[in-house]
Amino acid sequence: MHASSPLPSHSHRALSPRLDTRVPAGSWRILVVDSDERSARDLAQSLQRHRHDARAVTTGAAALREHSDADVVLLDLDLPDIDGLEICRSIATTSDTAVLAVTAHGSELDRVLGLQAGADDYVVKPYGFRELLARVDAVMRRARPKPAAMSMRVGPLHIEQATRTVELHGRVIPLTRKEFDLLQLLASPPGEIVPRRSILQRVWHDTDMTRSRTIDTHITSLRRKLGSPDWILTVRGVGFRLVQG
């Protein structure tokens, strides 16, 4: 994993200190996992300069030991001791820590496997540091969303949280409980891609991606009830986003 501006190398004992549980508002506790010690350290230091509490480790075993102290893990999937996909699965099933997978392999299959293993997002090397910061913030907005607004509007679509009702062009659209929860998630905010794993976790409180076909069933039903497939767009291999139909 490489930051955009390499920093001088340091000895192994100079790796960032243990994550502090007290971080400034708008900052995250970030665990960088990369077998390249210098790259891991440099990235952690770059993140620290942007007010994040970041530290680095170089093995999958260390990631499994220490991820619970982090808000988000920047995980290089190419590790020498443990397969990165296995680490994703373990973190996803044992904690609420978000995972941003980082790898040099950028095929569609690689991205799908990473997301299905539990990664919240996927970044391919080489990447820009500002892009990485933006992706971390986006992942954390999804992992720790703000309380849902009592009322949301997307063009002619009106979602009322208090009464759990949906109106389109002033006409009430009858939705099941899960359909309402799914639509509300996609509308918070509209236009943002919501990964399948996040949908499964936040609507069905499940982490088993083999059961994600139920998402497609509910998406199909929502499209039918909204009268157009254009309301909800499929982002192949990633998830869905709500747009004005």
Residue 25, pLDDT score: 41
Average pLDDT over residues 51-78: 91
Q: Is the pLDDT of residue 167 over 90?
A: yes
Residue 129, pLDDT score: 92
Residue type, 46: S
Indicate the pTM of the whole model. Answer: 0.53
Q: How far is CA 180 from the centre of its chain?
A: 22
Residue 21, pLDDT score: 37
With cut-offs at 50, 70 and 90, classify the pLDDT of residue 148: low
Task: Look at residues 73, 51, 211, 214 and name the one whose alpha carbon lies nearest to residue 139.
Answer: 73
What percentage of the chain has pLDDT greater than the value 90?
40
Residue 147, pLDDT score: 54
The phi and psi torsions of 200 (rounded to 5 degrees) equal: -60, -40
With cut-offs at 50, 70 and 90, classify the pLDDT of residue 139: confident
Q: Is the pLDDT of residue 14 over 80?
A: no
More confident residue, 131 or 7: 131
Residue type, 156: P
For residue 166, what are the β-bridge partners?
159
Instruction: Give the mean pLDDT of the chain.
Output: 82
What DSSP letter does each residue of the chain carry, written as one string?
---SS------GGGSPPPPPS---TT--EEEEE-SSHHHHHHHHHHHHHTT-EEEEE-SHHHHHHHGGG-SEEEEES--SSS-HHHHHHHHHHH---EEEEEES--SHHHHHHHHHTT-SEEEESS--HHHHHHHHHHHHHHHSPPPPPSEEEETTEEEETTTTEEEETTEE----HHHHHHHHHHTSSTTS-EEHHHHHHHHH----GGGTHHHHHHHHHHHHHHT-GGGEEEETTTEEEE---
Asked if 196 and 120 count as a contact pair (C-beta separation under 8 A), the reply is no
With cut-offs at 50, 70 and 90, classify the pLDDT of residue 26: low
For helices 177-186 and 196-204, what crossing angle results, to 10°?
A: 140
pLDDT digits (tens, 9 = 90+) for 179-223: 998 999 999 877 888 998 888 888 887 767 777 788 999 999 999
With cut-offs at 50, 70 and 90, classify the pLDDT of residue 23: very low
In angstroms, the first-to-last Cα distance of the chain is 39
